[in-house]
Amino acid sequence: MEQVFSKYRSKFNNIPNDPDNYLYWLENDILLSLNDNEGLINKLSPTIRTIYPNMTAFDIVDKLKNNKNESSIIQNIHHLWGFLSEDRRQQITAK
């Protein structure tokens, strides 16, 4: 996992609360992969529905937006990472 953080940190900035912060990019790429490479607004995959039961795309986005200090984002990334298959982990690592 540290390899993934390091890779994203080298590609994106580490300025807190900046929309281009590497943590936001990593979290978004994981969510995209878990949602079968579709935006949340288009559909919610079974995996996303398992992670966020009884939530709409708007509910999920609100939850993510309200959960934005560095430690909570890292915790969420680790949580989401656990739902990825090995193939999807490798795809993200290879980005």
Residue range 40-49: average pLDDT?
96
- In whole angstroms, what is the distance from residue 1 CA to residue 92 CA? 11
Grouping H, G, I as helix, E, B as strand and the rest as coil, residue 13 is strand
As given in the structure block, the two tokens for residue 19 are 């929309």
What's the structural domain count of the chain?
Answer: 1
Distance between alpha carbon 69 and the CA centroid of its chain, in Å?
Answer: 14
Tell me the pLDDT of the chain averaged across its residues: 94
Report pLDDT for 35. Answer: 98
Q: Count how many Cα atoms sit within 13 Å of the Cα of residue 39 in the half-sphere of its side chain.
A: 3
What does the pLDDT look like over 52-86, one tens digit per residue?
A: 999 999 999 999 988 778 999 999 999 999 999 99
Residue range 5-15: average pLDDT?
94
Report pLDDT for 48. Answer: 98
Report pLDDT for 59. Answer: 96
What is the residue range of 53's domain?
2-12+19-94
Report pLDDT for 18. Answer: 86
